[in-house]
Structure 1
Amino acid sequence: MSDFPDGSVLLEATSGRWYRVAPGAGRGTMLIDLPNEILLAINVSSKMIEVLIKDGNENGVFHRAGDISFENKEGENTIHLFFESLKELKLDHNGAKIENPFHEITSVFAKLDLKQARQWWDKNSF
């Protein structure tokens, strides 16, 4: 059931605020609103977080931008970023940019290892 002719619905976030969300987006276990007008729909059963951003229209409907999923297979932890809205990737704060003008990149996989974190903290101890 939709609340509006375009199929969008009103969903309540954990803050108690209501947001207009595009059809099929934001249907998770919980909806978290961040102060920068980004919504996160937590989907516990599918082990992912859907990212919703507001369109530029006056109605301010939130649309799916992509999702972040988490996997642990045989002790190897991986984060999968899937963003159909990916415009560019930037490595580190001042790093190189990888632009996506032809919409060919949608997935980024990051493997995690706590040894890397320990080495980083040892190198960058404050």
Structure 2
Amino acid sequence: MDNLERFELATTVSGKTFKFFNHPKANFLIDLPNKMILGITSSISCIDCYLPDENEIYHYAGDISFGNDNGINYLNFHSRSISALSFNNEKVQIPKSSNALCNVRIELQIDKSIKWFDSVREKF
């Protein structure tokens, strides 16, 4: 059986049905206008991302999870599909032959956000 024949149907919260290579394990699916589908799994604080191939069959592309490790809040992005990263709009290419980069952890400090919003309010 080739990939064109191997798919499962799943319905998003909008009521639309899509083809998936493997059935998503998410609690619910949200289809976005940019052809991405997000799968929310609340029990493990995770959002999966699904992208279509040329035959409109959706495949798992990565996930973002949310956590707290010893008081440090973080976002963890996992994917074998990472082709580039951007830092302040500066793109860093990932070699196409490499799939070594598959996890990106971003630690969050709410104080930084509070200070930024305070500085913006002062300008207005």
* TM-score bucket of the superposed structures, by smaller chain: 0.7 to 0.9
TM superposition shift of 1:62: 0.6
RMSD: 1.6
Aligned residue identity for 1:67: D
Which 4+ runs in 1 deviate beyond 4 A? none
1:110 Cα deviation after fit: 0.7
1:37 is matched with 35
CA offset at residue 5 of structure 1?
A: 3.3
Where 1:124 maps in the other structure, the secondary structure is helix
SS in 2 for 1:105: coil
Counterpart secondary structure, 1:45: helix
Shift of 1:18: 0.4
Q: CA deviation at 1:46?
A: 1.9
Cα deviation 1:66-113 (Å, max 9, x = unaligned) = 000111233321110001100000112x3x222111222111101111
Q: Greater helix percent: which structure?
A: 2
Alpha-carbon distance in 2 for matches of 1:73, 1:99? 29
- Equivalent pairs counted in the alignment come to 117
Q: Secondary structure at the match of 1:16?
A: coil
**2:5 partner SS:** coil
1:3-36 deviation line (CA, Å, top 9, x unaligned)? x831x11100000000101125x22100111111
Residue 53 of structure 1 is matched in structure 2 by 51
Q: Give the % identical residues.
A: 30
Does residue 5 (structure 1) correspond to residue 5 (structure 2)? The answer is yes
What is residue 22 of structure 1 aligned with on the other side? 21
Query: Could you say which residue in structure 2 is the equivalent of 1:105?
Result: 101
Q: Which residue of 2 aligns with 1:123?
A: 119
Distance 2:18 2:119 in 1: 43
Q: Which amino acid aligns with 1:124?
A: V
TM-score w.r.t. length of structure 2: 0.85
Unaligned runs of 5+ in 1: none
Instruction: Give TM-score, length-normalised by structure 1.
Output: 0.84
Question: 2 CA distance for matches of 1:43 and 1:21?
Answer: 17
